[in-house]
Chain A
Amino acid sequence: MVDAVTLTNVQFQYPNADRMILDGVSLRFPQGEWTAIIGRNGSGKSTLARLIDGLLLPKQGQVTVCNLPVTEENMTRVHQQVGIVFQNPDNQFVGATVADDVAFGLENRQVPLAKMRSRIQQALAAVDMTDLASAEPTMLSGGQKQRVAIAGILALKPQVIILDEATSMLDPAGRQLVLDLLQRLRTQQQYTIISITHDPTEMAIADRVVVLDGGQVIRQGDTATVLADVDLLRHVGVGVPAGQALRQALVDRGITVPARYFTEEEMVRWICQQL
């Protein structure tokens, strides 16, 4: 499979910091897959996202996006391939209205007005916000603002979408809506999605999980394999998915449960079989 994003032995240190925030990270993000990146606060997750989009440049090592090395010269093309949804819905809303905000990226890319209209319409339709096209940001909920942010990215037709804790400031309903939307988008079109998250549901949706700790990749693999390791999840301080938490609770009480990953439904099914 082709890799949408690769990192080779990447090192990064913030100015005036005494330690490396990322130290020798090598990763591959296959095209069309959803990868979740988990880890403690300060483990370098957000830095990784910024390195992929070229918002920061590594001290050492190389980052490529769609076979394009992320360097100063390629910056415009890299920004075209990668879209990031950031954590705070308010701090990434540039436009005065929903349509204006979606237009912002297109204006930067000098898309002519005639094309802009149809692309904005398509993008808003994809995130189900057509009715609110002329709404102002104060009238929108956090979840709606994040959907607008996603529309702003879709309008630019990128290859890679990065979610930098994009659902962490939303209420559960808003979060579910955003995640459903992304799952739908991924099946419709071949986006490569990288989601940085602490949320168990968001991890469970991913195809692959990468665990960062102390600026290094300490584990990566299929979602089922990584999330089955409850001790690891506890060690890096992230939430344990419900099915997995239940399995662990049963094991702690001395019940023999197969040592594999269980989603919530699988767990329910397994318990029903045992009864």
Chain B
Amino acid sequence: MNNKIVFGSYVPVASPLHRLDPRMKLLMCIWYVILVFFANSWGTSLWLLAGLLLAMLMSHVSFRQYWQGLRPLAWVIVFTVAFQVLFSSGGRLYWHWGIMSITHDGLVNALIIFYRFMVIITASTVLTATTPTLRIADGLDCFMRPLKFLRVPVNQITLMLSIALRFIPTIMDEAGKITNAQRSRGMNFHQGTLVQRVRHLVPVLIPLFVNSFKRAEDLATAMEARGYDPDSPRTHFRQLHWRGCDTMTFVVMVLVTTILFLIRGGLL
């Protein structure tokens, strides 16, 4: 089986985390990201890291797979950290060359940023690895429902989102076909300067756009034929079920938060 995960793709295994309600997981992920910004010491940071490690273990997705998911972003992280190390000032000066210098505060800042980057990306990977994109969209739909009172067309937005998600593989497939068609006519996508390479993408993008518009039109006709009316209410086939384990996860989340603030307040 091909276990390689791209950043943000779903890993279909059975685990307690996979079975959780997407609303709970979404809430947990967002809340965790907020909490990360409250971590201000070794104690608090390690406490949150421990929480993340527990979630990763419970997801039954191997650490190797998480690492593969992180790897494409490694360069961004390295660059940001290096930038912090070399260009922030304050505290004791260790090394200095032109405008670059390594200082005590710079190192501390870099460490904090490295930590935040790693845990936030990993936490969102835990969410996307254990929840199919469509379920995430369902969860979002639920969170957005109160916006209906502000006349935000929530139903249309979520239908749009789920159709967009459903068409990603179809359009990727088509992009592949068009690329091959152009290559069969002698186009070489891997040669030339950066400008030339970008220019080579034009004959791929134009047919792709034209076809996508045609698809959209066909789809709109098909939807209308099946009785879709954006202004009328609709019932929902896919339902979310809040269960005991979701409530339990919520309690754990409250506990993690309480303990975090206790450590932060010096009470633990």
Contacts and interface: CB of A to CB of B under 8 A. Distances in A.
B237 A91 contact: no
Nearest to A93: B166
B215 interface: yes
A163 B224 CA distance: 16
A110 interface: yes
Contacts of B218: 86, 88, 91-92
A189 interface: no
Nearest to B167: A90
B221 A95 contact: no
B215 A111 contact: no
Given A100-B238, A138-B170, A92 B222 contact: yes
Interface string B224-238: 111111001111111
Interface in B189-248: 215, 218-219, 221-229, 232-239
Interface string A119-139: 010000000000000001110
B230 to A, nearest CB: 10
Given A108-B234, A111-B235, A80 B227 contact: yes
Interface string A51-72: 0010100000000000000000
A44 interface: no
Given A108-B226, A156-B226, A113 B169 contact: no
B163 interface: yes
A182 B169 CA distance: 30
B235 A106 contact: yes
Interface string A124-163: 0000000000001110000000000000110010000000
B257 interface: no
Contact of B237 (A53, A106, A153): A106
Contact of A116 (B219, B226, B228, B235): B235
A259 B221 CA distance: 43
A21 interface: no
B134 interface: yes
A175 B237 CA distance: 30
A107 interface: yes
Contact of A83 (B162, B225, B229, B234): B225
A113 B219 contact: no
Overall SS of chain A's interface: helix
A16 B43 CA distance: 72
A248 B163 CA distance: 50
A79 B227 contact: yes
A55 B227 contact: no
B100 interface: no
A105 interface: yes
A90 B227 contact: no
A96 interface: yes
Given A86-B222, A91-B218, A76 B166 contact: no
A91 B222 contact: yes
Contact of A84 (B163, B219, B225): B225
Contact of A90 (B170, B223, B234, B237): B170
Given A55-B224, A55-B225, A156-B227, A107 B169 contact: no
Nearest to A91: B218
A82 B232 CA distance: 20
A94 B225 CA distance: 12
Nearest to B174: A90
Contact of B221 (A86, A109, A112): A86
Nearest to B233: A110
A80 B224 CA distance: 11
Nearest to A77: B227
Contacts of A137: 166, 169-170
A137 B165 CA distance: 12
Contacts of A83: 225-226
Contact of A92 (B165, B169, B219): B219
A215 to B, nearest CB: 21
A267 to B, nearest CB: 39
A257 to B, nearest CB: 44
A5 interface: no
Given A55-B224, A107-B236, 18 more contacts: A76-B229, A79-B225, A79-B227, A86-B225, A90-B215, A94-B166, A94-B219, A96-B162, A103-B237, A105-B226, A109-B227, A110-B232, A113-B236, A116-B237, A120-B237, A136-B166, A136-B169, A137-B166
Of all A-B residue pairs in the complex, the 5 with the closest CB atoms, nearest first, are: A103-B237, A91-B218, A92-B222, A108-B227, A105-B226
22 contacts: A55-B221, A79-B226, A79-B227, A83-B225, A88-B215, A90-B215, A92-B222, A94-B166, A94-B223, A96-B162, A99-B237, A103-B238, A108-B227, A108-B232, A108-B234, A110-B233, A112-B235, A113-B237, A113-B239, A137-B166, A138-B170, A153-B226
